[in-house]
Amino acid sequence: MTIIRKRTSEKVSRIVVHNETVYLCGQVALDVNEDIVGQTRSVLSRIDDHLLEAGSDKSKMLSALIHIKDNNDVAVFNELWNEWLPEGCAPARTCVEAEMARDVVLIEVTVTAAL
């Protein structure tokens, strides 16, 4: 049993690979001063980068857990998500309104994908 941990700090690994499955920690925008559009684009780009580093891509996503600060932003998020996601590759998905650890974070997405 091999577990590969990447981008690991003292308390968290941003990428974990085990049994041909990639687990990403929750991704937030690099610039949390942006609006929901900017933060969503940043999060989706970070997911692309992390999956690529792990040897996968968004077409292999198995599940996504979306935490959104304000349910009024779900439609905007969904529009950007649908543009970003390859046709026929929709993962199992949960979207919940959540109180964020930092008030400026509007969106956080956690992904599991196949290699």
- pLDDT by residue for the chain (115 residues), tens only, comes to 799 999 998 889 999 999 999 999 999 999 999 999 999 999 999 999 999 999 999 999 999 999 999 999 999 999 999 999 999 999 999 999 999 999 999 999 999 999 9
H-state helical runs in 1-115: 36-54, 74-84
> Based on the structure, what is the number of domains in the chain?
1
| Parent domain of 89 | 3-114
**Residue 21 is part of a domain; what is its CATH number?**
3.30.1330.40
96 Cα distance to chain centroid: 14
Note the pLDDT of residue 10. 80
Q: Which residue has the tokens 């439609």?
A: 75
Question: Taking a C-beta distance cutoff of 8 angstroms, is the pair 63, 86 a contact?
Answer: no
